[in-house]
Structure 1
Amino acid sequence: MGKVIAFQLNGKEYAVPVHQVLAIEKLHHITRVPRTPAFVQGVMNLRGVVIPVIDLKKRFQIETETQNDHEKMMIVTVNDLEVGLVVDAATDVLDIASENIEPQPEIVDTVKSEFIDGVAHLDQRLLMLLNLEKILTPLS
């Protein structure tokens, strides 16, 4: 598998390949855009580039447990599309060996299963490995 960036949503850990993450930023001013899906928070200007912003909790239909003043923005790229993903915290850069990855479980209650490529076991941690292409499909 290789290196991944681990992040949290409502205390659960997820990960995306490090080569798809351009930056991790503080949350900037987001401008709402009419007639977009509910999970699209809007757009923001990041160093002269306007990028769409996705609320992963809304995209995954996860209830927000508490208001988080420390949310971060992960800037990711998929098929030449740059997108900001709102996450609770970006926690680690990890190296995951292929033998530590299992296919996604049949029933996953936290995230729609089509967004998950697998589950990584690291010591006492379980990380859901996300497929950004499937998460961002309606945007491209």
Structure 2
Amino acid sequence: MEDQNKVVVFQVAQGEYAISIDYVISIEKEDGIREVPSLPNYIVGIKKVRNELIPIIDLEQVLYNRSIQERDQNKLIVLKTEKLAYAVLVSDAKEILAVAEENIKQAGLAAYQKTSYFTGVINLDNRLIMMMEPAVLINSLDGIKEIKEYMNNLT
């Protein structure tokens, strides 16, 4: 049997993206977010998830430089990296997909420093889904060191 990678597929604007299920803690509704003043524009606020305060990142702001529109199907995908748990606010969390290794191609965009969090492209019959690496994504954001310190001081 060929190697399978399980990923959570989600939508941001018109694009489809995926993150390995190994990083995903949960998928939550977009509610209970507390705004915090003076944070970078990509941070919507903080939320308590499973007794832990986590920052909420507007992924549309990060990828497309515009704020996500408020809609009922918006979701929070809660992620755990080695240094920080955080959530990304997305337009929709669509499915969990088992992808054969042969269907994951190198992105070529990883060489570009600002998009180094894209690690590959899932190439299916009529879909191209960009794979993202949560630890690289969070570390690529301006001001994240201060956010990590802030979150550590809250706990």
1:105 deviates by 3.9
Aligned to 2:18, which of 12, 15, 18? 15
Write the deviation string for residues 52-91 of structure 1: whole angstroms up to 9, x where unpaired.
1111011123445854232001111111521111011111
Residues 119-140 of structure 1, C-alpha deviation per residue, up to 9 Å, x if partnerless?
Answer: 1112211100001111111354
User: How far, CA to CA, are the matches of 1:30 and 1:55 in structure 2?
Assistant: 12
Query: 2:98 pairs with 52, 71, 95, which one?
Result: 95
- Equivalent position SS for 2:136: helix
In structure 1, the partner of 2:135 is: 133
TM-score by length of 2: 0.78
With over 3 angstroms needed to count, the CA separation of the structure-2 counterparts of 1:91 and 1:45, relative to structure 1, is: same
Instruction: Identify which of 63, 83, 87 aligns with 1:60.
Output: 63
Q: CA deviation at 1:51?
A: 1.0
Deviates more, 1:13-22 or 1:97-106: 97-106
RMSD: 2.1
Match of 1:40 in 2: 43
| C-alpha distance in structure 2 between counterparts of 1:91 and 1:68, whole Å | 15
- Distance, in Å, in 2 between the alignment partners of 1:104 and 1:121 is 11
**Match among 71, 74, 82 for residue 74 of structure 2:** 71
Structure 1 unaligned regions, length at least 5 = none
Q: Counterparts of 1:98 and 1:118 in 2: how far apart (Å)?
A: 11
Larger Rg: 2
Instruction: Work out the percentage of aligned pairs sharing the same amino acid.
Output: 29
Q: Which SS does the other structure have where 1:33 is aligned?
A: coil
In structure 2, the partner of 1:49 is 52
Structure 2 gap segments, 5+ residues each: 149-155
1:10–1:64 CA contact under 8 A, matched in 2: no
Q: Which has the higher strand share?
A: 1
SS of 2:48's equivalent in the other structure is strand
